[in-house]
Amino acid sequence: MLFFTQCFGAVLDLIHLRFQHYKAKRVFSAAGQLVCVVNPTHSLKYAPTRCAAAQASTDQGILPPCHHHEVVHDPQLVPCTCPLFSCPWEGHLEVVVSHLRQTHRINILQGAEIVFLATDMHLPAPTDWIIMHSCLGHQFLLVLRKQEKYEGHPQFFATMMLIGTPTQANNFTYRLELNRNQRRLKWEATPRSILECVDSVISDGDCLVLNTSLAQLFSDNGSLAIGIAITTSKVHSSEAEM
């Protein structure tokens, strides 16, 4: 009986996963688009991260300790960029991707256009949905966060961060698209560098922001499908042609 129960549960999980893929492909009918089902993760930090704590200290006129200040501004070292955890790891920028994949088990998809399908949107804040996107020779980190910016009023924040320098980030444009029930919503912007800290981007509101009612308009049975496209910026393209 135990064996049958476990097998039956695995079959149900597989059916549910396939159904989620079908829903995303139904919403985004473009042939060949990759679909990634992303399950929510409740953040284990929300003790402030190092960059958030440093920003708060600066705003209050309190300087962080000298050794902390040196680590954050050392151009050779980057703190862990995963917004889910207060991870003590730090290392060179070129090994950030391997750290995120191996330590935090963040999935990565390849392709110019993909579909990010976030499940269980009804879960209470704070909750994160995260994936890496490999495109045009670079890696990007997509973060969707449900967070209460004002008490009792949760909002959804979606942003794309380049795992690279701010100069490199300026060479790209990303587009997030919601499309359901004859409604379409697009957000287009230049990605921010992962060096700038995800928390700061969200607190500044420089990202796609949805209130609960708007998110429900575009969700399907508690899942939100976001189409993602990344292109090189016009400035960068013209420079390349010259």
Of 53-67, 137-151, 159-173, 182-196, give the lowest mean pLDDT range: 53-67
- CB-based contact 205:198 (threshold 8 Å): no
Residue 49 has a pLDDT of 46
Beta bridge partners of 117: 37, 225
* pLDDT band for position 52 (cuts 50, 70, 90): very low
Return the SS3 of 4: helix
CB proximity list for 102: less than 8 A, separation 6 or greater: none
Average pLDDT estimate for 43-70: 43
State residue 239's pLDDT score: 43
Q: Return the half-sphere exposure (C-beta side, CA atoms, 13 A cut-off) of residue 192.
A: 19
Would you say the pTM of this structure is higher than 0.85?
Answer: no
CATH of domain 31-39+77-232: 2.60.210.10
Q: Is 114 exposed, middle or buried (0-12, 13-18, 19+ CB in 10 A)?
A: buried
Query: Confidence band (pLDDT; 50, 70, 90) for 123?
Result: very high
Extents of the domains making up the chain: 31-39+77-232
Peptide bond into 126 cis (omega under 30): yes
185/77 Cα distance (integer angstroms): 38
Instruction: List, for residues 5-15, the tens digit of each pLDDT value.
Output: 555 555 545 45
227 beta partners: 115, 177
